[in-house]
């Protein structure tokens, strides 16, 4: 039955037969065959196909085989062979993952022989040596190549026309059954593997202005003119004049951005094979500078200044701005309304020297701005936590932060801590630090105050007695 299925599906199914310990192949089915073939009394013959095993009847074989043949797969497996010398060959398996995400793979490569032993009975694809095993991971859309060196035994070399290579890529597992993603069969004489011989680029000729972009796509072809998947081709500039950049610099598609006038060859290379295209780069006006008016302005805190930006190309002519963005950096600060566009209004909020910038793409224009106003000074002190409840003998960590009259954080110069209210406690340290520890010594409600340069902030602390409250005496009521 298995051999009949193989005949029915010559290009899609191959049974791998195993004769254990070199005997049992000519024993009729029955207990004697079980004992001699497997060497285990009472064993059950096993038929395994892509994660299914122990099929008990011949009818099951065909059902499960056809069921798996109907299941789609997103992996391809191609086999080829190269002679090394004598009975030794390099067997190359090319695995391609057409799905997404990385997938772990366990690849087996087995050398088998038809018609062995002689005279044969069940002797299709008889395993002649242990299957070679390789673990790898294949990224989505990528291909991996695994080469296995096999030296065929004398029996195989005496009947080379019966040599069969069977390879299968499966989900890694310590024991069967497991999922087989793809399999391949190669018979003698081994075909030379499909090889990348040419790379074609589309478009083959393109014209683009300086600053403009054009997309290119590379396609690999094998020695037979069939499409050959590129794995990680690299883009570069060849001979000629003019210049530009690639984004990305690797992959089957890229975007070329022209940077200099001329006619230049574009190259795409992988594995020693290179394809080319020609790009003609013409001169074109582009944004080169941004001018801002007014220049070097001055404004007081709370005041406003109207700014306008004008773009100019490399020749000094006016050039329309696309999406300019306004920013400011330096000691002074403020806000822009709107933050984008060729015109904006700036409202000053913090004194100091600053630089106003207008950015459009990679082009930046700038001007100086002086914002006048009172020097920053301590305006408020905030103590954290703002409130807390502790018991006599407990401690509480407190910290103070200062802000200036403009709402910005400002360092405390010489903070001093004190306690006011009903209740008592100690502070450690009591000064010179923005942080202190309050230890309660008497029940009550107090304010822990931090002061610096005439500015104060406080936290409310409730102090309760230490330990649990005393039990309340209950008098039993007697009914009249």
Cβ neighbors of 427 (< 8 A, separation 6 or more) are: 417, 418, 419, 436, 437, 438, 448
Q: What is the dihedral of CA 81, 82, 83, 87, to 10 degrees?
A: -30
Q: Which two tokens stand for residue 349?
A: 């909020």
Q: Which two tokens stand for residue 134?
A: 């390789």
| Side-chain half-sphere exposure of 472, counting CA atoms within 13 A | 3
Instruction: Give me the pLDDT at residue 174, please.
Output: 74
Once rounded to an integer, what is the mean pLDDT over residues 275-301? 93
5 vs 478 pLDDT, higher one:
5
**Per-residue pLDDT band at 157 (split at 50, 70, 90):** very high
Per residue in 74-115, pLDDT tens?
A: 999 989 888 888 999 989 898 999 999 999 999 989 888 887
Instruction: Give me the pLDDT at residue 117, please.
Output: 67
Instruction: Give me the pLDDT at residue 252, please.
Output: 96
SS3 226: coil
CATH 2.60.40.10 fits 292-372, yes or no: yes
Q: Which two tokens stand for residue 417?
A: 């801590």
Pairing assessment for the beta strands 416-428 and 352-360 based on DSSP bridges: unpaired
Find the length of the chain. 480
pLDDT at 474 over 70: no
Asked if 247 and 263 touch (Cβ cutoff 8 Å), the reply is no
pLDDT at 453 over 60: yes
Instruction: Give me the pLDDT at residue 199, please.
Output: 97
Instruction: Give me the pLDDT at residue 478, please.
Output: 53
**Per-residue pLDDT band at 138 (split at 50, 70, 90):** very high
Tell me how crowded residue 304 is: count the other CB atoms within 10 A of its CB.
12
Instruction: Give me the pLDDT at residue 286, please.
Output: 82
Summary mean pLDDT of the chain? 86
Rounded Cα–Cα distance for residues 442 and 436 (Å)? 18
Minimum mean pLDDT range among 34-43, 67-76, 397-406: 34-43
Tell me how crowded residue 215 is: count the other CB atoms within 10 A of its CB.
11
Once rounded to an integer, what is the mean pLDDT over residues 299-325? 94
The sign of the torsion formed by the CA atoms of 181, 185, 190, 196 equals negative
Q: Got the DSSP string for 313-329? A: ETTS-B---SS-EEEEE
pLDDT at 118 over 90: no
**Per-residue pLDDT band at 120 (split at 50, 70, 90):** low
Rounded Cα–Cα distance for residues 388 and 276 (Å)? 75
Please give the distance of CA 223 from its chain centroid, rounded to a whole number.
35
Cis peptide before 78 (omega within 30 of 0): no
Per residue in 162-221, pLDDT tens?
A: 999 999 999 998 766 778 899 999 999 887 766 788 999 999 999 998 889 999 999 999
Instruction: Give me the pLDDT at residue 29, please.
Output: 40
Instruction: Give me the pLDDT at residue 314, please.
Output: 82
Look up the CATH number of domain 196-282: 2.60.40.10
Instruction: Give me the pLDDT at residue 28, please.
Output: 43
0.75 exceeded by pTM: no
Domain(s) of CATH 2.60.40.10: residues in the chain:
2-187, 196-282, 292-372, 378-464
Pairing assessment for the beta strands 234-240 and 227-228 based on DSSP bridges: unpaired
**Per-residue pLDDT band at 468 (split at 50, 70, 90):** low
**Class of the CATH-defined domain 378-464:** mainly beta
Rounded Cα–Cα distance for residues 160 and 111 (Å)? 12
Instruction: Give me the pLDDT at residue 42, please.
Output: 45
Once rounded to an integer, what is the mean pLDDT over residues 117-145? 78
Per residue in 212-253, pLDDT tens?
A: 999 999 999 987 677 888 989 999 999 999 999 999 999 999
Instruction: Give me the pLDDT at residue 220, please.
Output: 94
Instruction: Give me the pLDDT at residue 224, please.
Output: 67
**Per-residue pLDDT band at 25 (split at 50, 70, 90):** very low
Instruction: Give me the pLDDT at residue 40, please.
Output: 45
Per residue in 27-66, pLDDT tens?
A: 444 445 445 444 444 444 445 555 455 555 556 678 778 8
Look up the CATH number of domain 2-187: 2.60.40.10
Asked if 360 and 323 touch (Cβ cutoff 8 Å), the reply is yes
């Amino acid at each position: 039955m298995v051999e009949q299925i193989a005949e029915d599906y010559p290009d899609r199914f191959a049974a791998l037969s195993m004769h254990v310990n070199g005997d049992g192949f000519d024993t009729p089915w029955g207990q004697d065959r079980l004992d001699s073939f497997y060497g285990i009394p009472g064993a059950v013959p096993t038929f395994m196909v892509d994660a299914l095993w122990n099929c008990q009847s011949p009818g099951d074989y065909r059902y499960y085989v056809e069921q798996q043949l109907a299941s789609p797969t997103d992996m391809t497996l191609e086999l080829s062979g190269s002679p090394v010398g004598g009975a030794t060959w390099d067997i190359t398996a090319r695995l391609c993952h057409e799905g997404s995400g990385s997938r772990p793979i366990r690849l087996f490569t087995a050398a088998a022989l038809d018609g062995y032993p002689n005279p044969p009975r069940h002797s299709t694809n008889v395993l002649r040596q242990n299957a070679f095993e390789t673990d790898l991971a294949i990224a989505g859309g990528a291909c991996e190549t695994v080469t296995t060196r096999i030296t065929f035994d004398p029996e195989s070399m005496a009947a080379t026309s019966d040599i069969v290579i069977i390879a299968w890529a499966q989900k890694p597992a310590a024991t069967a059954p497991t999922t087989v993603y793809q399999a391949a069969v190669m018979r003698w004489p081994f075909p030379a593997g499909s090889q990348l011989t040419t790379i074609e680029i589309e478009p083959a000729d393109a014209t683009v202005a300086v600053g403009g972009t054009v997309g290119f796509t590379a396609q690999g072809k094998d020695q037979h003119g069939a499409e050959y998947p590129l794995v990680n081709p690299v883009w570069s500039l060849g001979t000629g004049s003019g210049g530009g950049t690639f984004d990305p610099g690797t992959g089957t598609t890229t975007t070329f951005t022209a940077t200099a006038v001329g006619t230049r060859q574009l190259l795409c290379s992988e594995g020693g094979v290179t394809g080319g295209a020609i790009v003609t780069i013409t001169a074109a006006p582009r944004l080169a500078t941004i001018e801002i008016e007014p220049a070097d302005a001055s404004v007081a805190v709370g005041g406003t200044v109207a700014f306008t930006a004008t773009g100019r190309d490399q020749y000094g002519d006016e050039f329309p701005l696309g999406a300019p963005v306004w920013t400011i950096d330096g000691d002074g600060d403020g806000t822009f309304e709107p933050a984008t566009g060729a015109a904006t209004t700036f409202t000053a909020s913090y004194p100091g020297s600053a630089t106003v910038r207008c950015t459009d793409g990679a082009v930046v224009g700038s001007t100086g701005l002086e914002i006048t106003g009172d020097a920053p000074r301590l305006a408020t002190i905030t103590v954290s936590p703002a409130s807390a409840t502790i018991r006599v003998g407990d401690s509480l960590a407190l910290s103070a932060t200062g802000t200036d009259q403009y709402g910005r954080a400002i360092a405390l110069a010489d903070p001093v801590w004190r306690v006011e209210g009903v209740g008592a406690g100690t502070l450690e340290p009591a000064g010179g630090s923005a942080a202190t520890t309050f230890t309660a010594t008497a029940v009550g409600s107090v304010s822990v105050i931090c002061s610096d340069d005439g500015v104060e902030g406080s936290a409310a602390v409730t102090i309760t007695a230490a330990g649990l409250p005393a039990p309340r005496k209950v008098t039993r009521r007697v009914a009249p």
